[in-house]
Amino acid sequence: MACENETAVVLREAGQKVTPQRVHILCEVRHAGVHITASRLIDELRVSHPFIDASTVYRTLASAADLGLVYETDMGSGESEFEWVGKDRHHHLICRSCGDVESLDNSYLDGMATLLYEEAGFQADLGHFAIFGVCKGCQTKA
Amino acid sequence: MACENETAVVLREAGQKVTPQRVHILCEVRHAGVHITASRLIDELRVSHPFIDASTVYRTLASAADLGLVYETDMGSGESEFEWVGKDRHHHLICRSCGDVESLDNSYLDGMATLLYEEAGFQADLGHFAIFGVCKGCQTKA
DNA sequence: GCTGCAGTTGCAACGACTCGCATTTGCAAC
DNA sequence: GTTGCAAATGCGAGTCGTTGCAACTGCAGC
Ligand SMILES: [Mn+2]
Ligand SMILES: [Mn+2]
Ligand SMILES: [Zn+2]
Ligand SMILES: [Zn+2]
C-alpha cells in the first residue's frame, strides 16, 4: 500500500483532516481495486488495523462519497459497494438472469447528460450507475 | 382504499397467494401515491392493521419489487423508497444543493436504452432512476 | 514548541432490516 | 366441505448500519 501520502494529499485538498484512520480506510479502498462492501472492508482492516471502529469506517466512506472521492453504488447485492474514483469513469450493466457484470464507458450516458442540461437546465452528476437488464447471451437462450 | 379487489387480481396474476396482509400492505403503497419508506409504511399500517408484523411488510415489499409491482429506489435519504408501478413511467432529478426532487419523463432515457440494445445487445430495464446533480436555480446562485 | 478549538473518534444504545423455524393459511384437487 | 401441501406469517434472535455524546486529536495561529 504505497498510496498513503497521495491519499493524505487528496484528503487535505478536500478540506478534511488527515487522520490515520481515514488514510488507512481509503488506502484499503484504493487497494481493493474494484468494488468493495463496507463489511468486507471492515474485515480486511481488522487484520492490519484492529483498533479502527466500524462506525469510523462507515462515516469515512459516507463523507468520501459526499466529496466525490469514492462511488457508492447498489449493485443489487443488498449492500452498498464502494470504489475509488479513478481516471476511468464508467458504469455497469448487470444481467438479472445470469448475474454477469460488465463495464460500460461513460460516453453512453454523456448524451443524456447533455440533453438534460439543454432541456431542463439540470447539471447531472452521472457518477457510477448500475443498469439492470438482460444480457445478449441470456436473451438468445429465452 | 378502494383498490383492494384490483390489488388482489394483480397479485393473483403475478402467481402470488392473495393474503389479507399483502393486500393491505400493497393498497397502502398505492394509496400513498408517491414514494414511501418501509418504516413509514409500518407506522401507517399499525393504525389500521396492528397485527401485521414488520417482517411481513419487508418480505412483501421485496417480493413485489422482484415481480415489478413496485419500484424500490434509493432517493438519497438512506432508506429505500417504494412506489407503486403505475402507468406514468418516470425518473427523478434530485438537486444535491437544495434537495428539490423533480420528475422526469421516461423518454429522456429511452434513447440510451435503444443505444445500449443496438451497440451492446443489452436489454436495459430502466425502471425508476434517481439522478443526482445541481438544479437550474442552484447553478445561477453559485 | 505550546494553545485552542473545530472536527474526528470510540463507545454504547438504538433503529432498520434479515433469517430460521414452528404454526397457520390460501387454494387446488377430490 | 374436506384434505393436503406449498407458501406465507409471526415471532424471536441476530446482523447491519446510524447516531448522540464524551473524550481525543489534527492543525492553524501564536
Ligand atoms: Mn465500477
Ligand atoms: Mn417516482
Ligand atoms: Zn445474462
Ligand atoms: Zn437546487
With a cut of 80, say whether residue A142 has pLDDT above it.
no
B58: nearest nucleotide, CA–C1' criterion: C17
Mean of per-residue pLDDT scores for chain A: 93
Band the pLDDT of B111: cuts 50, 70, 90: confident
With a cut of 80, say whether residue A93 has pLDDT above it.
yes
Q: Is A132 on the interface with B (CB under 8 A)?
A: yes
Q: What's CA A1's distance to the chain center, in Å?
A: 19
Average pLDDT of the segment spanning B55-79: 95
Q: Which of A123, A128, A138 to mutate to test the interface with B (most CBs of B within 10 A)?
A: A123
User: Residue B138 C-alpha to ligand 4 middle, in angstroms?
Assistant: 4
Q: Nearest CA of chain A to the CA of B40: how many Å? A: 20
Average pLDDT of the segment spanning A116-136: 94
Band the pLDDT of B87: cuts 50, 70, 90: confident
Helix B107-120 and helix A107-120: axis angle, to 10°?
Answer: 160
Between CA B46 and CA B54, with CA B52 as vertex, the angle to 5 degrees is 85
* Residue B26 · residue B33 · CB < 8 Å: no
Question: Residues of chain B with pLDDT > 70: what percent?
Answer: 99
Write down the pLDDT at residue B38: 97
What DSSP string runs through A58-85? HHHHHHHHHTTSEEEEE-SSSSEEEEE-
> What SS3 state is found at B3?
coil
pLDDT in tens, A2-57: 789 999 999 999 999 999 999 999 999 999 988 999 999 999 999 999 999 999 99
User: Which of A74, A104, A120 lies at the smallest CB-CB distance from B93?
Assistant: A120
Q: Which domains does chain B have, with CATH numbers?
A: 2-84 (1.10.10.10), 90-141 (3.30.1490.190)
